[in-house]
A and B are shown apart, each in its own frame.
Chain A
Amino acid sequence: MDFDFTDDQNSLRDAVARWVEKGFGFERRHALAKAGGATRAVYAELAELGLTGLAIAEAHGGLGFGAVEAMVVMEELGRGLVNAPYLHGALVAPSLLSFAPAELQAAWLPKMASGEALVVLAHQERAARYRLDQVTTRATEANGAWTVTGAKSLVPAGDEADAFLVPAHTAQGIRIFLVERAACQVRGYPTQDGARAAEVAFDNAPAQLVAENGLVELEGAIDVGIAAVCAEAVGLMERMTALTVEYMNTRKQFGVTLSTFQALRHRIADVKMQLELGRAMSYYATLKLGEPAEQRRRALSQAKVQIGQSVRYVGQQCTQLHGGIGVTDEYVSSHYFKRLTMVEMQFGDTLHHLGEVSARMQDSAGVFA
């Protein structure tokens, strides 16, 4: 039992933090969001740092790092409010492609590692909400070639991606396919958190089989995504709390700083509570990713329930503590608030995961249960 980071992990954290400090100030972020949220150029800069290959095996040109390194990077990207499709392209998609046949891996993973290709998971369907087994998109095989027909929604960075990983129904159940963007109809739009998403339609689009045991592998990929947003949320919450503390120590009302009012002091103490509980459960999420599916799924849902409560409390209360400036577009904290709010709804919201925890409940519970 050990929650210290290694020197290498600390260096990785510093490298990301330095890039954020130098190259991703709030003005740039704000301008990118205002221009529609396209961030492929930012993704390319992360690639220059080697980060897009973080989770990809060295044999395919990646770094072959593990879940803790992914958490470290996500924390820093969160702290810097970096709106690039990093968790989708560099963490979730590689985890799914690792189940693909060797030639498909060889065709895509090196390009993904270098950042030349952006591949994202396109699993959301209109009526499914957070249920992963609700899939109406269909895939059919003819003469050894697959095609996909259907539609996916809210695909992250959908109009900037080169290919999609698409869960589709087949005669053998749900399977995962890779479909190139050129074969799809894509309609992109900006999102509340300064990024982009897209509606993607497939009409007999040529597809390549990635994973046969589709639902199981999809669940695994979603858990990778949950751990990543939990870590991102920790960075976001930490920075938003720091901004709020700074504000409380400088802003004066009735002739004294906000930090002198006990009602506000107690509020920031509760914010700290939610931040630390969130961080504890982010560690838990990351360190449980390697467990057998049943324990992993329960743990990741538990983590998402905590993070969901934490982001809601920290985001809303830090906005309140800022007063009017907190609800303006020009001030940075409102952008943290918007991203924190969207985190709750990503990969299943609090109520959804509470239902999962409830359904998977055992007689004993605890970190090692």
Chain B
Amino acid sequence: MDLNFTDEELAFRAEVKQWVAENLPADLSHKVHNALRLTRDDMQRWARILGSKGWLGYGWPKQFGGPGWNAVQKHLFEEECAMAGAPRIVPFGPVMVAPVIMAFGSPEQQQRFLPGIASGDVWWSQGYSEPGSGSDLASVKTRAERAGNKYIVNGQKTWTTLGQYGEWIFCLVRTSTEGKPQTGISFLLIDMKSPGVTVRPIILLDGEHEVNEVFFDNVEVPAENLIGEENKGWTYAKHLLAHERTNIADVNRAKRELERLKRIARAEGVYDDLRFRDQIALLEVDIVALEMLVLRVLSAEKSGKNSLDVAGLLKIRGSEIQQRYTELMMQAAGPYSLPFVHEAMEAGWQGDFVGAAHCAPLAGTFFNYRKTTIYGGSNEVQRNIVSQTVLGS
């Protein structure tokens, strides 16, 4: 047992830290450190910088042009990016669909799609959720009917994060209604410029346009865009969901936001109020405990000796912590979280905000983050999964 990283791991961390310090644009880290609004261009600029270094697909194996890092190296990369205030990598391309294309796509599909994902040039969206599906993903109703060498797609996806920027979307579609719901699902890649695709914004409770509805009206999709075999999409989707859950603990970002919470609490005069300070202390303990849990998972992956089936726990705890720090920031601002000025979240905004500038985004972020215990399989669904592991049935 050893808590410390090896010399090689520390050297790796130092290399990443230095590269990020030299290549992360200051205007982007300023926005991230202050929770200001990021534009499409902001997110894609950082993606392309990472892409030019070969690090956008930081989880990719070498054979597909990735760096071939192990679990610990990936963690250290994520940590250095988070602490430096780098925008989050928009995961749909490099983190979510790429591993599916690598594992189940044809060589032609790999050559066609992976380079654009690795460079950050092509923006991908995720087409999983539907209006009726919620956490019950297998209930997918969007239909894809085979007609010669193409599929005709009809239906609707929803909660499509940043879908307004999407150029391609990977979708779960129903290709069969026979057997169990899981067995009739296929995994289809759809060009969002195709005739019949319509994207409509859903404005969330913070007033932001983050998610969308995507409608498919007799959209023609070449059959060559099917991943793997027809009706096997559920298997591929589960592969992808596994990727989604280990990232979802997001403990590195929590450490950065804890620092921000302390800065805000100081500025608002509650850092030395013991009753408030104890709440920060409790959150600090929660974050250290989550980080230790994450490190245990990494150690288990590295040695291959003990498998650690705690993905559900990481999702539950990580999301609860995200909600807690956004709530404490809002409470630190207290009454000054009340004003709602949409423009105040723009970098460089010089308007007249009541209260300190850092108060402007706090309530909005708190409201926005209620999503974290709902998406990616709600925390209640995660508890069902955890209980299955614990009870053995």
Write out the residue numbers on chain A whose beta carbons fall within 8 Å of the beta carbon of B72.
1
Write out the residue numbers on chain B whose beta carbons fall within 8 Å of the beta carbon of A358.
274, 277-278, 280-281
Q: Is B80 an interface position by the 8 A CB rule?
A: no
* Given A271-B390, A367-B295, 18 other A-B residues pairs in contact with their CB atoms under 8 A: A1-B2, A1-B9, A4-B303, A249-B392, A262-B384, A272-B387, A272-B389, A273-B313, A281-B285, A283-B1, A302-B289, A306-B289, A354-B282, A358-B274, A361-B262, A361-B277, A365-B258, A366-B255
Considering the complex, which residues of chain B in the window 351-393 have a beta carbon less than 8 Å from any beta carbon of chain A? Answer: 380, 382-384, 386-387, 389-393
Interface size class on chain B is: 35 or more
Do residues B298 and A364 form an inter-chain contact, with CB atoms below 8 A? Answer: no
Write out the residue numbers on chain B whose beta carbons fall within 8 Å of the beta carbon of A187.
none
Q: Is A276 an interface position by the 8 A CB rule?
A: yes
CA distance A280 to B298 in the complex (A): 13
CA distance A201 to B289 in the complex (A): 41
Q: A324 to nearest B CB, angstroms?
A: 21
Determine which of B5, B300, B316 lies in contact with A3 in the assembled complex, contact meaning CB atoms within 8 Å.
B300
Write out the residue numbers on chain B whose beta carbons fall within 8 Å of the beta carbon of A266.
380, 383-384, 387
Do residues B288 and A365 form an inter-chain contact, with CB atoms below 8 A? Answer: yes
CA distance A262 to B387 in the complex (A): 9
Chain A residue at smallest Cβ distance from B287? A365
Considering the complex, which residues of chain A in the window 255-272 have a beta carbon less than 8 Å from any beta carbon of chain B? Answer: 259, 262, 265-266, 268-272
A3-B296, A3-B300, A4-B305 as given contacts; A365 in contact with B284, CB under 8 Å: yes
Chain A residue at smallest Cβ distance from B320? A273
CA distance A119 to B389 in the complex (A): 44
Chain A residue at smallest Cβ distance from B303? A4
Q: Is B11 an interface position by the 8 A CB rule?
A: no
CA distance A367 to B316 in the complex (A): 20
Chain A at the B interface: mostly helix, strand, loop or mixed?
A: helix
CA distance A357 to B392 in the complex (A): 38
Do residues A2 and B299 form an inter-chain contact, with CB atoms below 8 A? Answer: yes
Write out the residue numbers on chain A whose beta carbons fall within 8 Å of the beta carbon of B2.
1-2, 287
Do residues A268 and B390 form an inter-chain contact, with CB atoms below 8 A? Answer: yes
Chain B at the A interface: mostly helix, strand, loop or mixed?
A: helix
Write out the residue numbers on chain A whose beta carbons fall within 8 Å of the beta carbon of B281.
305, 354, 357-358, 361
Write out the residue numbers on chain B whose beta carbons fall within 8 Å of the beta carbon of A268.
387, 390-391
Q: Is A355 an interface position by the 8 A CB rule?
A: yes
Considering the complex, which residues of chain A in the window 268-320 have a beta carbon less than 8 Å from any beta carbon of chain B? Answer: 268-273, 276-277, 280-281, 283-284, 286-288, 302, 305-306
Do residues A273 and B3 form an inter-chain contact, with CB atoms below 8 A? Answer: no
Determine which of B1, B255, B383 lies in contact with A364 in the assembled complex, contact meaning CB atoms within 8 Å.
B255
Determine which of A270, A280, A363, A366 lies in contact with B296 in the assembled complex, contact meaning CB atoms within 8 Å.
A280
7 A-B pairs with the lowest CB-CB distances in the bound complex, closest first: A280-B292, A265-B387, A269-B386, A287-B3, A269-B383, A358-B281, A357-B281
CA distance A277 to B293 in the complex (A): 7
Write out the residue numbers on chain B whose beta carbons fall within 8 Å of the beta carbon of A354.
278, 281-282, 285
Do residues B289 and A248 form an inter-chain contact, with CB atoms below 8 A? Answer: no
21 contacts between A and B (CB under 8 A): A1-B6, A1-B9, A1-B72, A1-B298, A1-B302, A2-B302, A3-B300, A9-B1, A276-B310, A280-B292, A284-B289, A287-B2, A302-B289, A306-B289, A355-B278, A358-B281, A361-B277, A361-B281, A365-B287, A366-B288, A366-B291
Write out the residue numbers on chain A whose beta carbons fall within 8 Å of the beta carbon of B284.
302, 357, 361, 365
CA distance A241 to B305 in the complex (A): 23
CA distance A266 to B386 in the complex (A): 8
Q: A214 to nearest B CB, angstroms?
A: 28
Considering the complex, which residues of chain A in the window 13-69 have a beta carbon less than 8 Å from any beta carbon of chain B? Answer: 68
- Which residues of B pack against A, CB within 8 Å? 1-6, 9, 72, 255, 258-259, 262, 274, 277-278, 280-282, 284-285, 287-293, 295-296, 298-300, 302-303, 305-306, 310, 312-313, 316-317, 380, 382-384, 386-387, 389-393
Q: A283 to nearest B CB, angstroms?
A: 7
Chain A CB within 10 Å, residue with most, of B278, B289, B293, B312: B289
Write out the residue numbers on chain B whose beta carbons fall within 8 Å of the beta carbon of A241.
390
Do residues B289 and A5 form an inter-chain contact, with CB atoms below 8 A? Answer: no
Q: B86 to nearest A CB, angstroms?
A: 17
Write out the residue numbers on chain A whose beta carbons fall within 8 Å of the beta carbon of B382.
269
- Which residues of A pack against B, CB within 8 Å? 1-5, 9, 68, 241, 245, 248-249, 259, 262, 265-266, 268-273, 276-277, 280-281, 283-284, 286-288, 302, 305-306, 354-355, 357-358, 361, 363-367
Write out the residue numbers on chain B whose beta carbons fall within 8 Å of the beta carbon of A265.
383-384, 387, 391
Q: B258 to nearest A CB, angstroms?
A: 6
A273-B386, A365-B284, A365-B288 as given contacts; A280 in contact with B1, CB under 8 Å: no
Write out the residue numbers on chain B whose beta carbons fall within 8 Å of the beta carbon of A277.
289-290, 293, 317
Do residues B293 and A280 form an inter-chain contact, with CB atoms below 8 A? Answer: yes
CA distance A113 to B341 in the complex (A): 69
Determine which of A280, A287, A357, A364 lies in contact with B259 in the assembled complex, contact meaning CB atoms within 8 Å.
A364
Chain B residue at smallest Cβ distance from A290? B3
Q: A4 to nearest B CB, angstroms?
A: 5
Determine which of A249, A262, A283 lies in contact with B393 in the assembled complex, contact meaning CB atoms within 8 Å.
A249
Write out the residue numbers on chain B whose beta carbons fall within 8 Å of the beta carbon of A283.
1, 3, 292, 296
Write out the residue numbers on chain B whose beta carbons fall within 8 Å of the beta carbon of A5.
1
Q: A212 to nearest B CB, angstroms?
A: 31
Write out the residue numbers on chain B whose beta carbons fall within 8 Å of the beta carbon of A363.
259, 262
Write out the residue numbers on chain B whose beta carbons fall within 8 Å of the beta carbon of A249.
391-393
Write out the residue numbers on chain A whose beta carbons fall within 8 Å of the beta carbon of B293.
276-277, 280
CA distance A4 to B380 in the complex (A): 31
Chain B residue at smallest Cβ distance from A270? B383
Write out the residue numbers on chain A whose beta carbons fall within 8 Å of the beta carbon of B290.
277
CA distance A270 to B1 in the complex (A): 27
CA distance A364 to B260 in the complex (A): 10
Chain B residue at smallest Cβ distance from A248? B391
Q: A293 to nearest B CB, angstroms?
A: 17
